[in-house]
Amino acid sequence: MARKHILHMLTPLRQMSPFDVNMALDAGFDAVVPYVDVKLAEVTGLVQDAIFSRPPDAGIDTGIFIAGKDVSLSLDMFDAAKKAMVPPFQISVFADPAGSFTTAAAMVAKVEKALQKKFERGLEGTRIAIFGATGVVGFCTAVIAAKEGAKVTIVGHDGTERVNKVAAEIKKRFGTTVNPVDGSSTAKRKKIVAASEVILAAAKAGVQVISKVELAGADALLIAADVNAVPPAGIEGLTVHANAEPLETTKAVGIGPLAIGNVKYKTEFGLFKKMIESEKTVTFDFQDAFSLAREIAK
Ligand SMILES: NC(=O)c1ccc[n+]([C@@H]2O[C@H](COP(=O)([O-])OP(=O)(O)OC[C@H]3O[C@@H](n4cnc5c(N)ncnc54)[C@H](OP(=O)(O)O)[C@@H]3O)[C@@H](O)[C@H]2O)c1
């Protein structure tokens, strides 16, 4: 009898995301088991409980998924899970807190593709401003773009105090530099947009962060992308299906949440499938998500 594919899904939150549960089962896991309210210190024990219950060659059929809503905590849990392995007892691990790794990967991959196709250039040196950077998707987007050599500005909707902390955390953890700025007024946001070649909206669902007034006069702007699919659009005038099409009232092209969501979906689904099908145990974080999203994005 074929061995069952089992996924243990760990979250520090009170609930596991139904989105991730559905996706893991649809990708082919036979059983997914949520563990909620998991503390960082409990990860080692849970992983070791899972690895020793099956023979070493069943490691490839057993996986750990790390969820949550905090990039740093999820990466700490991811590292703890990897360190808990006792070779030859090893299992696969995939982290994607609040879908942020795969969503950020999809957004940056779509932007990169549009830069290449429409403007014959890449991310390196491109001036990118990220709105919603205190959120988990915005944080991860900033890290991926900065690691690719973009000049990243992270915008605080309530001043600089919290984006300063985000920038310090990114520097400490990843060694990359992002520039925190105050985007708490229309005049400030207009100035940020005017200084950018790419703007990325990663703000809360149903919140407009950039208006047409703020887009006016953005002569250097090449691309505006948004991951919020709940009306109103995060960037005024950007339609949900826009796929590097002209953004009204600007000279830029827009990439909407469903064009990004399509790549996000395929990336998360694809990583779950790789966990199931791989002949060796695997570990996937946002860098693996970005590598796969780059292959998928058109
Ligand atoms: N298209 C896709 O495939 C996909 C997949 C996953 C997620 N998403 C979307 O990605 C977005 C970000 O997700 P998330 O989990 O990071 O969201 P989140 O935690 O709810 O919020 C993200 C950011 O929005 C900011 N924000 C809240 N209210 C605001 C306001 N009135 N003005 C400006 N900014 C405001 C938050 O600031 P505070 O820190 O002050 O709260 C935070 O920086 C959401 O729209 C979500 O629906 C899309």
Q: Ligand 1 centroid vs 280 CA: distance in angstroms?
A: 36
Nearest atom in ligand 1 to 162's CA: 39
What are the tokens at 203? 């703000």
Going by the DSSP 8-state scheme, the letter that residue 37 receives in this structure is S
The answer to whether residue 217 scores a pLDDT higher than 90 is no
C-alpha of residue 101 to centroid of ligand 1, in Å: 14
CA of 172 relative to ligand 1 center, distance in Å: 23
Q: How far is CA 224 from CA 16, 136, 152, in A?
A: 32, 19, 14
Q: Is 228 in the pocket of ligand 1 (CB under 6 A)?
A: yes
* Model pLDDT for residues 96-121, shown as the tens digit of each residue: 999 999 999 999 999 999 999 999 99
Q: Is the pLDDT of residue 57 over 80?
A: yes
| φ, ψ for residue 31, nearest 5 deg | -145, 135
Per-residue DSSP letter, 96: -
Span of 50-59, 69-78, 204-213 with lowest mean pLDDT: 50-59
- CA 17 to CA 24: how far, in whole Å? 11
Q: State residue 135's pLDDT score.
A: 95
Name the residue of 137, 139, 165 whose CB sits within 8 Å of the most ligand 1 atoms, as the mutation to test its pocket.
137
Q: To the nearest whole number, what is the mean pLDDT of the chain?
A: 97
- Domains defined along the chain, listed by start: 6-95 (3.40.50.10280), 100-260 (3.40.50.720)
Which pLDDT value is given to residue 2?
A: 81
Name 245's bridge partners: 254
